[in-house]
């Protein structure tokens, strides 16, 4: 910010030195000439004009009234309006803007202007509209702006303006629209705003405002739009706000407000079209009077502590009176009961229906299919049971379907394949059985599919892997799926995450997996895959996580995995892999690699010393223990075996041995010596160190040179379990 200020001053000094004839002048001396000079000053501080729209602004004899974006009064020939909205200009607002004394409209929205709002803006006594929306303006709202007594619209939305809202804004008695949303304003909402009785719009959303909402805002009896969302406001909502009967849009979402919503809110605010109290701590029940708002379009009460009272979800029946309702969000509350069949009688305009995260039970009524304009249906995280109604397949306009985390049973209806506009389908964490329908081939716009944590069986239809539109997620994990992976998986060129773990899949991993070039996460653990790991996995340059553990894979670890520079976690444990473990790429940091349970693998480490791996000795289970011991020492010391700290005869094992046991704390990772809590029990430092020394002892016992003297994996795990039991066992006084 300091740098930007310096640049701004340098630009200004340069302008003054090259335009010495121009300066701030008395009002009586202002003319079209000074207007022209003020505009040239503005242009001089514009650093980027991508479309060269200010080309016509020049210092010749041309009349500025003919310049792009400039408008003049025909009689006075003075500039009355400057509209450069959407020009994508970058730069600063010149303080000489204050010399445009006849200016009524200053519209600079949707540019890339930075710097501050100059104090000279207060000299524009004729200004009616000031719109700086969607720029990158910093600093504060200048106090001089309160001198623009004719101002009706002040729009500073979408900038980086900070600190408090000036109390003096109450002088702008003609103000009809005050838009300060999407900034960094802090402090409290000034009570003085309540004096702006001509206000029709008050938007303070998406700032850092705190404290309680002033009850005096209830004096704004002409207000139609009130948005206080996404701040840090606390306390209860002042009852006076419910008396502003002119309100059409009322939003206070994402704050820390509490208390009950008045049952008669639908009577007191008869003109309400949009009602958004999401993400607060409101209690009580959903007001029954909402059904009186026959024109309301949006009711959003999600993520509160609202309950359904004695009548369960019957309030839904009353909402059938809201014939223009488009958005109903009542999810993440304490609503309990059965969804009534009358849900199908809700507005035919209903587009978004959020009811997830409640205590709703019973079946999904087939009548929900009557809501044929739904774009989103979310019933996730409830206690719904029974089968998915095949009639849902009639919601052919719907892009998003969420039924996850319920107790839904039966098979997935083939009719869901009719939902050809689906972009998201989430049926995870239910009790679904049977095959994945081949009709899913109709999901040609699907971006996300999650069928995990069910009891789906049989093979995965090749139609699923032919969904080339998938870009985000394909999750089929934790099912009973069997059979091989079809070659059609190569069509998933754009998907980021594939999770097939915890199934009964078998056969080899298809060579064409290398065509899934957008993959960042690939989970295939706990199946029965066999054969080699295809070298083509090395083509997945963006891969961050690869988990092939708990399979029956054989052969060597492909060297191509060393080239995956984005790889953060590699799990190849408990397979039948053999040969040397690579040493480059991710393999330089063994804390990110798990190869445990591959008895024929050899860890090619500099710290092998006189161990068998440097001498061509046949691998054994004791060799596996050796690798495990090295990993333990690395994890608990924080030292990489290939660290440059080790040279000559020194290596990780010898370094640890030199300190063990009396000075073990000198080689431990310092983070492990911090005070430890375990299961709410405070661990005494002496006991904590004792256990750490024991772990280091296990690591050294696994890495002794002699295979005869080296402990087995079984012994190592037994000793570590004893350490754990000692650590969590309460100490008797």
Q: What is the pLDDT of residues 397-420, one digit of tens each?
A: 999 999 999 999 999 999 999 999
> Among 158-162, 204-208, 209-213, 648-652, which stretch is predicted with the lowest mean pLDDT?
648-652
pLDDT at 302: 98
Residue with more model confidence, 608 or 636:
636
Q: Which of 98-107, 170-179, 615-624, 720-729 has the lowest mean pLDDT?
A: 615-624
Q: Which residues of 514-550 are buried (b: 16+ CB within 10 A; e: fewer)?
A: bbbebbbbbbbbbbebeeebbebbbbbeebbbbbbbb
Mean pLDDT to the nearest integer, 242-253: 98
Q: How far apart (Å, rounded) are the C-alpha atoms in residues 68 and 631?
A: 70
The pLDDT assigned to 615 comes to 35
Buried b (16+ CB within 10 A) or exposed e, 263-294: eebbebbeebbbbbbbbbebeebbbbbbbbbe
Average model confidence (pLDDT) for the chain?
90
More confident residue, 110 or 685: 110
CATH architecture designation of domain 288-296+304-404: Alpha-Beta Horseshoe (3.80)
Does the structure show a pLDDT above 70 at 623? no
Angle, CA of 477, 483 and 488, to the nearest 5°: 80
**What is the rounded average pLDDT of the residues 588-611?**
75
Domain boundaries, the chain: 288-296+304-404, 410-604, 605-728
pLDDT above 70 coverage of the chain, percent: 91
Could you give the CA distance from residue 341 to residue 85 in angstroms, rounded to a whole number? 51
Identify the CA nearest to 173 among candidates 190, 148, 155.
Answer: 148
pLDDT of residue 241 exceeding 60, the answer is yes
Greater pLDDT, 588 or 114: 114
CATH class of 605-728: mainly alpha
Average pLDDT over residues 337-365: 97
Token pair 């404290």 in the structure block, residue? 211
CA–CA separation, 152 and 386 (whole Å): 58
Q: What is the DSSP letter of 87?
A: S
CA dist., res. 218 & res. 241, Å (int): 5
Contact 406, 379 (CB under 8 A): yes
Identify the band that residue 593 occupies on the pLDDT scale cut at 50, 70 and 90.
very high
pLDDT at 650: 84
3 vs 578 pLDDT, higher one: 578
What would the two tokens of residue 699 be? 């690591």
- pLDDT beyond 50 at 689: yes
- What does residue 619 show for φ and ψ, rounded to 5 degrees? -60, 155
- Give the three-state DSSP class for 11: helix
* 606 has pLDDT over 60: no
pLDDT (0 to 100) of residue 530: 97
CATH number of 410-604: 3.80.10.10
C-alpha–C-alpha distance, residues 445 and 78, integer Å: 56
Confidence check: pLDDT of 669 > 90: no
Give the bridge partners for 502, in sequence order: none
- Of 278, 275, 277, 382, the closest CA to residue 335 belongs to 382
- Residue 424, phi then psi, degrees to nearest 5: -135, 130
Buried b (16+ CB within 10 A) or exposed e, 447-467: bbbbbbbbebbeebbebbbbb
Nearest to 193 by CA among 161, 228, 234, 235: 228
Task: Answer whether residue 632 shows pLDDT above 90.
Answer: no
| Band of residue 135 on the pLDDT scale cut at 50, 70, 90 | very high
Q: Would you say 710 and 703 are in contact if contact means Cβ atoms under 8 Å apart? A: yes
Return the structure tokens found at 474.
């394909």
Strand locations in 46-111, DSSP E?
Answer: 46-48, 70-72, 79-83, 90-92, 105-107
pTM of the entire predicted model:
0.79
Q: Give residue 457's pLDDT.
A: 96
Which stretches of 343-479 are assigned E, i.e. beta strand? 352-354, 359-362, 376-378, 383-384, 400-402, 424-426, 433-434, 448-450, 455-459, 473-475
CATH topology agreement for domains 288-296+304-404 and 605-728 = no
CA 356 to CA 302: how far, in whole Å? 9
- What is the reported pLDDT for 730? 53
**What are the respective helix, strand and coil percentages of the chain, to the nearest 5?**
30, 20, 50
Q: Which bin fits 77, alpha (ψ -120 to 50), beta or left (φ > 0)?
A: left
Rounded CA-CA distance 558/536 in Å is 9
Residues comprising the chain, all counted: 733
| pLDDT band at residue 70 using 50, 70 and 90 as cut-offs | very high
- Candidates 715, 573, 699; CA nearest to 630 is 699
Measured CA distances, 524 to 529, 550, 653 (Å): 9, 9, 34
Task: Tell me the pLDDT tens digit for each residue of 369-402.
Answer: 999 999 999 999 999 999 999 999 999 999 999 9
Specify the DSSP element, H or E, that contains 507: strand 504-508
φ and ψ of 173, to 5 deg: -70, -15
């Amino acid at each position: 910010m300091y740098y930007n200020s310096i640049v701004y001053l340098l630009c200004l000094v340069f302008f003054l030195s090259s335009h010495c004839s121009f300066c701030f002048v008395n009002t009586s001396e202002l003319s079209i000439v000074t207007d022209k000079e003020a505009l040239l000053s503005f242009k001089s501080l514009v650093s980027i004009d991508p479309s060269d729209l200010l080309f016509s602004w020049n210092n010749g004899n041309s009349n500025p009234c003919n310049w792009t974006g400039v408008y003049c009064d025909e009689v006075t020939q003075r500039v009355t309006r400057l509209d450069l909205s959407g020009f994508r200009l970058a730069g600063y607002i010149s303080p000489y803007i204050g010399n445009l004394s006849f200016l009524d409209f200053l519209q600079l929205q949707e540019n890339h202007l930075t710097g501050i709002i100059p104090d000279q803006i207060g000299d524009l006594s004729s200004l009616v509209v000031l719109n700086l929306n969607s720029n990158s303006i910093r600093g504060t709202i200048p106090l001089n702006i309160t001198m623009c007594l004719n101002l009706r619209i002040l729009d500073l939305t979408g900038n980086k303006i900070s600190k408090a809202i000036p109390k003096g804004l109450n002088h702008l008695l003609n103000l009809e629209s005050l838009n300060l949303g999407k900034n960094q304003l802090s402090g409290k909402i000034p009570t003085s705003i309540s004096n702006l009785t001509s206000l029709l719009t008050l938007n303070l959303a998406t700032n850092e405002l705190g404290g309680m909402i002033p009850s005096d805002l209830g004096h704004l009896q002409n207000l139609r739009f009130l948005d206080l969302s996404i701040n840090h406001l606390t306390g209860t909502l002042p009852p006076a706000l419910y008396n502003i009967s002119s309100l059409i849009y009322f939003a206070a979402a994402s704050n820390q407000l509490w208390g009950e919503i008045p049952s008669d809110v639908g009577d007191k605010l008869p003109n309400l079209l949009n009602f958004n109290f999401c993400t607060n701590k409101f209690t009580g029940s959903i007001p029954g009077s909402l059904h009186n708002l026959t024109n309301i379009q949006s009711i959003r009460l999600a993520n509160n502590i609202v309950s359904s009272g004695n009548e369960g979800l019957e309030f839904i029946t009353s909402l059938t009176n809201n014939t223009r309702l488009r958005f109903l969000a009542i999810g993440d509350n304490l609503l309990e009961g059965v969804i009534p069949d009358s849900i199908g009688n809700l507005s035919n305009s209903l587009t978004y229906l959020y009811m997830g995260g409640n205590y709703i039970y019973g079946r999904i009524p087939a009548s929900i299919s009557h809501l044929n304009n739904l774009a989103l249906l979310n019933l996730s995280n409830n206690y719904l049971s029974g089968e998915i109604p095949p009639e849902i397949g009639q919601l052919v306009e719907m892009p998003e379907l969420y039924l996850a985390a319920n107790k839904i049973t039966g098979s997935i209806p083939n009719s869901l394949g009719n939902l050809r506009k689906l972009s998201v389908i989430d049926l995870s964490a239910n009790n679904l059985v049977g095959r994945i329908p081949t009709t899913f081939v109709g999901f040609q716009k699907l971006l996300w599919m999650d069928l995990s944590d069910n009891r789906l069986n049989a093979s995965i239809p090749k139609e699923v892997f032919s969904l080339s539109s998938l870009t985000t997620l394909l999750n089929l994990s934790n099912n009973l799926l069997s059979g091989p992976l079809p070659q059609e998986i190569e069509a998933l060129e754009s998907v980021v995450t594939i999770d097939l773990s915890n199934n009964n899949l078998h056969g080899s991993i298809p060579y064409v997996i290398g065509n899934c070039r957008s993959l960042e996460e690939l989970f295939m653990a706990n199946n029965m895959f066999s054969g080699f790991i295809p070298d083509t996995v090395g083509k997945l340059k963006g891969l961050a996580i690869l988990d092939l553990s708990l399979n029956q894979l054989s052969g060597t670890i492909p060297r191509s995995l060393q080239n995956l520079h984005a790889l953060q976690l590699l799990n190849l444990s408990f397979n039948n892999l053999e040969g040397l473990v690579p040493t480059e790429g991710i393999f330089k940091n063994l804390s990110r690699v798990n190869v445990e349970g591959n008895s024929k693998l050899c860890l090619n480490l500099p710290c092998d010393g006189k161990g068998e791996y440097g001498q061509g000795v046949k691998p054994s289970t004791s060799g596996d223990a050796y690798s495990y011991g090295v990993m333990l020492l690395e994890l608990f010391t924080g030292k990489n075996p290939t660290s440059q700290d080790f040279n000559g005869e020194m290596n990780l094992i010898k370094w640890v041995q030199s300190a063990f046991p009396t000075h073990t704390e000198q080689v431990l990772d310092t983070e492990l010596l911090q005070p430890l809590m375990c299961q709410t029990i405070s661990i005494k430092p002496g006991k904590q160190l004792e256990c750490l020394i024991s772990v280091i002892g296990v690591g050294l016992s696994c890495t002794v040179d002699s295979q005869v003297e080296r402990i087995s994996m079984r012994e190592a795990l037994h000793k570590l379990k004893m350490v754990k039991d000692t650590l969590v066992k309460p100490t008797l006084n």
